[in-house]
C-alpha cells in the first residue's frame, strides 16, 4: 500500500527555526504597534485601558515562545550537524531572528520616548512604568545570545569516524 503522506521538503530543525522567526517577527510588530498606539493623542473610545497587560500578553504569546522554539531548533540542528553536516539554513535563520529582534526592540525603545503623557502618568501611578521600559531592553539582551547561538551552530562540524583497531 502506497503512503499518501508527502515527504517534508526540509528537515524539522529548519521548520522550527522558521516558526521561531515568525513568532519573533510577530512580537516585534505587536510591541511596536502597541508603542505607536501609545504615542497617539487621546480620543474618546480610543484609549488603551491596560497597556501593561497588553505588553504581558504579547510577551507570553510571541516573545518567550520564540526563544523556546529557537532553542529546540538549535538542539535539533546541532544533533543533525554532528552526524551529517552543518545546518547552515537553521543557523542563518536564528541569526536573522536575533537581528530582527534587536532592531525591533531598539525601535520600540525609541518610540517609547514619544509616548503620550496620559499613559506615562497612568503607568507611573500604578508603578508599572519601569517594567514597561525594561521589557524592550530585556529582549535586546536576549537577542545577542540568540545571534551567538546561531553563529556557533554555523561552525559545528560533523564528527569523523575514527579507525577501530582490529585487535
Q: 2-6, 36-40, 55-59 — which is least confidently predicted?
A: 2-6
Distance of CA 16 to the CA centre of its chain: 12
Are 93 and 16 contacting, i.e. CB atoms less than 8 angstroms apart?
A: no
User: pTM value?
Assistant: 0.81
pLDDT in tens, 98-123: 999 999 999 998 887 788 777 777 77
Maximum Cα–Cα distance across the chain: 86
State how far the Cα of 149 lies from the Cα of 17, in Å rounded to an integer.
12
User: Which DSSP helix (H) or strand (E) runs through 101?
Assistant: helix 88-112
Q: Cα–Cα distance between 13 and 101 in angstroms, integer?
A: 20
Q: For residue 108, what are the contacts with CB-CB under 8 A and spacing of at least 6?
A: 28, 31, 32, 35, 136
pLDDT in tens, 46-66: 667 778 888 888 999 999 999
Amino acid at each position: 500500500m502506497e503512503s499518501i503522506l508527502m515527504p517534508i521538503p526540509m528537515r524539522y530543525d529548519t521548520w522550527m527555526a522558521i516558526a521561531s522567526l515568525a513568532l519573533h517577527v510577530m512580537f516585534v510588530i505587536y510591541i511596536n504597534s502597541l508603542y505607536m498606539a501609545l504615542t497617539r493623542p487621546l480620543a474618546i473610545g480610543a484609549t488603551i485601558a491596560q497597556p501593561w497587560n497588553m505588553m504581558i500578553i504579547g510577551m507570553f504569546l510571541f516573545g518567550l515562545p520564540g526563544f523556546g522554539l529557537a532553542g529546540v531548533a538549535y538542539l535539533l540542528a546541532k544533533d543533525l550537524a554532528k552526524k551529517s553536516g552543518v545546518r547552515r539554513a537553521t543557523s542563518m535563520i536564528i541569526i536573522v531572528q536575533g537581528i530582527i529582534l534587536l532592531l525591533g526592540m531598539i525601535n520600540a525603545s525609541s518610540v517609547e520616548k514619544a509616548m503620550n503623557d496620559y499613559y506615562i502618568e497612568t503607568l507611573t501611578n500604578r508603578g508599572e512604568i519601569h517594567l514597561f521600559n525594561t521589557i524592550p531592553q530585556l529582549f535586546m539582551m536576549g537577542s545577542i545570545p540568540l545571534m551567538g547561538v546561531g553563529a556557533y551552530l554555523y561552525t559545528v562540524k560533523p564528527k569523523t569516524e575514527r579507525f577501530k583497531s582490529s585487535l
